[in-house]
Amino acid sequence: MTTPDFLARPTGSGGSASLQRHLETTQAYAAELTTDDSVLQEVAKTAAYLHDFGKVTEWFQSYIRKVDRAGPDERVELTREQQRRKQHARISAYATEYALMKNGIEAGWRVPAFVAVAKHHQPLPDTRAEIRRTTNLNRRQNQNRFQLVQKQLKNIHEAAPDVADELLANATNGDGSLVDFIEYLSSRQPHETLSAFGVSDGTYDDVIHLFGILVSADKLASAGLDVIEAPGHSPSIINEHIQQLPTADSRIQKRLNQFRETARLSVLDNLSAFEASDSSLATITLPTGFGKTLTGLHAALQLSEESGRVVYALPYTSILDQVDEIVRELLDATPNSPEYTLHHHLSETRTLPPETRVDTDAAELLAQTWRAPLVLTTFVQLFESLAGPTNKQSIKIPALENTTILLDEPQALPKPWWRFIAWTVDMLVREFDATVILMTATQPRLLNELPYATEPYELVEEPSQYFEFLGDHPRIQYQLDPSVIDYLDQPRSAAPKPIKDAISQLVDADATSVLTVGNTVASVDEQGQQLVAQLDDAVSLNGLLAELYEDIPSAEALSEQLSAELFSRAKAHDGPLVGLLTSRLRPIDRTILLKTIRDLLDSDEQLYVASTQLIEAGVDVSFERAYRDLAPLPSLIQTAGRCNREFGGETAEVVIWRLASPEHEIATGDIVYRDGYDLLDPTRQALDDIHADGQITEQTMAQDGGERYFKLLHSETKPGDRELVADAEAAKFASLREESLIPDEREQVDIVVGMTENERNLFDAHERLVAEGRYRRLRGLQNALQQRQVSVPCDEATIEATGAVPLSGRSHLYYVDARGDESIYQLRRGGRLSIE
């Protein structure tokens, strides 16, 4: 059998079926995904060329030809021994280490390459544990693995010596051979190298980088896809967009626009000095409403003109839609185009190459490699891909090379992760030559106060002048409710305010639009119910949406029509409107409600919105008056940013009160924020320092309050789980992978909620396709199901007892039919499920 006769995969499965061609293509892609003439590139190319060396065995070739002869839905049954013999990753790892040794590459690179190749179809392991599993042959299981590799080599020597010889010679510039490799392995020299290897500070960087390059190159080659390198976007698109914005009407708005422009131009002017400095870390510090998004994008596009890539990361999926709208308008592109990728767990993440037809799987793979010049994503997608990534998560890692990364609202990053984030940001700069910019009104100082990263460079010239503008032209004034004043004086004994009394106070306020933000879903639900009960002729906006689903089918293609019809029905009501926004709402409901709320705010309808904190960061809405249940100080500032954003009329009031839980006999803030990191105590101390007779100006809160809060947070609370960094420094990938950026101590169950006939059809189609084994077609249903999926804090036994139906082929995911029964999925109550 000649080299071209050896197969890497079944014919017609995507890329070239030829093993030789696949290895050459993977190697070429690995070269494209790395910096020219670097040691990393040489190691990655060798690993890519030999990552499937083990497929030369007679056993693997026999298996792949059986698969090739079988039909598309026909499974090839193998015995347990046949399954073992066709494994190829570990023997390929030995071949890679051998070739690198012959090429004169030091052990510090050979061991990371061994680990990357050995696990290129799996998640990364804890490095030291993997080395022990390989070298400690006193354990029977480890000995069996090594014996299998020896048997595979013997089989190769008997069945395909010339092919193996050619591969090893090509990988070593003629210095390597099969016989020499067999002797090298028989003497266990690779084990000596592995045993002597000491995990160092750079091990994590090297392994994760090589792993990402190898997996990405392998998957692209297997799918027959090219590495997309779309040209970067010109920074001039920002100027063109700003010139098309409507002219300000009032004197104060004209002044605000002047300050926005001054801030943007100062950032651009400072880029040269920043690039000439020793730092690759920067901050953009601007108050809410001062054009941070466009300023940050302009700076990032300017910095990335050479590398051509920007990754823009935000804390919540609920606020990505707004930035997505801006980006689409700027680029005149869709998230499916090669120029732009929108990636979060609810998005339909696909990239369609120009003039090329690709299937759904290939389009998703292309998008998830993040090769587009602009990627909009979440903190979860970015940082969990750098914390012990799974095989799938790792394919975006090469795209971080020479990339400008914008972190918008970094104070929203979970406090246990702060130390690891600082460590990771430093790795991105060192290992990937990335530039990282943190943008917010309240800088958390996680790079300044925590070790690892260097002092960031402030790109805004004299940020204080923009906060002083707020002092001269205040948009809002903070008012501390007596329940908070009592808490400042007597934190242990102060009684929280009953929600019913709080809403009575709110209803008496003279305002057309009011926002109240609570700490828990139960609190927001109760506030919504009290608003409907206490406001004359009030109607639930959520209830109108529930009624609307009875008339119009729920579908993504009809979301604009649903929003328009909901707005029309709301306008037709002669009385106050009450909307509820919580994380328990199905994503499609939340999107429709937010769009309608924005439109209602523009039309001056009498509107009251009760929301959890999802409305705080980045959601572009502006209410006349706001109320905030006591929370960490940055959250108080974020809520205020949803009030009088454009300096319309007189100074608006933002009331901070301390509400009682409707479920427990304590304040809601004590339930949510008194965890391992007590975020309320630094808030209490900061408020006590800056208030005057219960009042705080916007400038004082943003400047003095923010500085005082973060100083106390770092000195007393000390955010950041040291174990996360310890695991990273020890290259313990498996340990890190057990952590999550959005942990919940309570067990969560995911449920797809069907409210309409159309949504029931989605469930039925899913079950039918699973039963028929048509798994590729299922991918098209994934986004639609996710748009109707909610997470409920309870165990699976409780869910199953309610009659919820498990989705076939999906673990921990259920379907509940809520058609015609509002008591099941209570849209009027912010999406709460009766089965909780």
Helices (H), strands (E): how many in the chain?
36, 21
The number of beta carbons lying within 10 Å of the beta carbon of residue 277 is: 13
Q: What is the CATH number of the domain that holds 81?
A: 1.10.3210
Domain check: are 538 and 648 in the same one?
yes
Domain check: are 567 and 514 in the same one?
yes
Shortest CA distance to 691 belongs to which of 716, 666, 719, 655? 655
Give the percent of the chain with pLDDT over 70: 95
The number of beta carbons lying within 10 Å of the beta carbon of residue 519 is: 24
Between CA 195 and CA 595 the distance in angstroms is 59
pLDDT tens-digit readout, 390-411: 999 999 999 999 999 999 999 9
Q: Is the pLDDT of residue 307 over 70?
A: no
Domain check: are 456 and 476 in the same one?
no
| Domain assignment present for 708 | no
pLDDT tens-digit readout, 539-597: 999 999 999 998 887 776 677 888 999 999 999 999 999 999 998 999 899 989 999 99
State CA 788 to chain mean position distance: 19
Look at residue 540 in the predicted model and tell me its pLDDT: 96
Beta-carbon contacts of 748 under 8 Å, excluding residues fewer than 6 positions away, are: 791, 792, 793
CB 224 within 8 A of CB 15: yes
Q: What is the CA radius of gyration of the chain?
A: 29
Between CA 536 and CA 736 the distance in angstroms is 53
Q: What angle do CA 204, 430, 417 make, to 5 degrees?
A: 60
Give the tokens for residue 791: 């997470």
Look at residue 3 in the predicted model and tell me its pLDDT: 54
Look at residue 750 in the predicted model and tell me its pLDDT: 87
pLDDT tens-digit readout, 105-151: 999 999 999 999 999 999 999 999 999 999 999 999 999 999 999 99
pTM of the model: 0.89
| Domain assignment present for 717 | no
Q: Is the pLDDT of residue 816 over 60?
A: yes
Between CA 796 and CA 793 the distance in angstroms is 10
| Domain assignment present for 436 | yes
β-partners of residue 793 are 748
The mean per-residue pLDDT over the stretch 75-91 comes to 91
Which residue pairs from 394-397 have beta carbons closer than 8 angstroms and sit at least 24 positions apart in sequence? 394/124, 394/208, 394/211, 394/212, 394/215, 394/216, 395/212, 395/215, 395/216, 395/219, 395/365, 395/368, 395/369, 396/212, 396/216, 396/368, 396/369, 396/370, 397/208, 397/209, 397/211, 397/212, 397/213, 397/216
- Is 597 strand, coil or helix? helix
| Domain assignment present for 727 | no
Which band of pLDDT confidence, cut at 50, 70 and 90, is reported for residue 153?
A: very high
Total domains in the fold of the chain: 4
Domain check: are 171 and 273 in the same one?
no
β-partners of residue 667 are 660
- Identify the domain containing residue 113 by its residue range: 3-223
Look at residue 779 in the predicted model and tell me its pLDDT: 66
| Domain assignment present for 738 | no
Domain check: are 502 and 463 in the same one?
no
Q: Is the pLDDT of residue 172 over 50?
A: yes
DSSP, residue by residue, 296-364: HHHHHHHHTTTT--EEEEES-GGGHHHHHHHHHHHHT--TTSTT-EEESTTS------TT----HHHHH
Domain boundary among 223, 247, 266: 223
DSSP state of 408: E
Mean pLDDT rounded to a whole number for the chain: 90
The mean per-residue pLDDT over the stretch 760-775 comes to 85
pLDDT tens-digit readout, 634-675: 999 999 988 887 776 788 999 999 999 998 889 999 988 876
Q: Is the pLDDT of residue 501 over 50?
A: yes
pLDDT tens-digit readout, 419-434: 999 999 999 999 999 9
Domain check: are 11 and 112 in the same one?
yes
DSSP, residue by residue, 532-553: HHHSTT-EEHHHHHHHHTTTS-
DSSP state of 15: S
The mean per-residue pLDDT over the stretch 67-88 comes to 84
Between CA 641 and CA 643 the distance in angstroms is 5
Look at residue 356 in the predicted model and tell me its pLDDT: 61
Domain check: are 212 and 339 in the same one?
no
| Domain assignment present for 709 | no
CB 827 within 8 A of CB 546: yes
Domain check: are 293 and 413 in the same one?
yes
Tokens 């839980």 map to which residue? 661
pLDDT tens-digit readout, 569-584: 999 999 999 999 998 9
Give the percent of the chain with pLDDT over 90: 62
| Domain assignment present for 624 | yes
Domain boundary among 667, 697, 714: 667
Domain check: are 485 and 461 in the same one?
no
Highest-confidence range of 239-243, 270-274, 619-623, 737-741, by mean pLDDT? 270-274
Domain check: are 303 and 314 in the same one?
yes
Domain check: are 206 and 323 in the same one?
no
Domain check: are 410 and 491 in the same one?
no
Q: Which residues of 607-625 are buried (b: 16+ CB within 10 A; e: fewer)?
A: bbbbbbbbbbbbbbbbbbb
CB 112 within 8 A of CB 206: yes
Domain boundary among 633, 667, 701: 667
Between CA 824 and CA 821 the distance in angstroms is 6
Lowest mean pLDDT: which of 64-73, 143-152, 483-492, 738-747?
738-747
Can you give the length of the chain in residues?
836
DSSP state of 574: S
Q: What angle do CA 682, 687, 692 make, to 5 degrees?
A: 160
DSSP, residue by residue, 462-531: -THHHHHHHHHS-SEEEEE-HHHHHHHH-TTTPPPBPHHHHHHHHHHS--SEEEEE-SSHHHHHHHHHHH
Q: What is the CATH number of the domain that holds 504?
A: 3.40.50.300
Reading across the β-sheet that carries 789-793, which strands appear in turn? Answer: 789-793, 748-754, 813-817, 805-806
Q: Is the pLDDT of residue 2 over 70?
A: no
Look at residue 1 in the predicted model and tell me its pLDDT: 42
| Domain assignment present for 714 | no
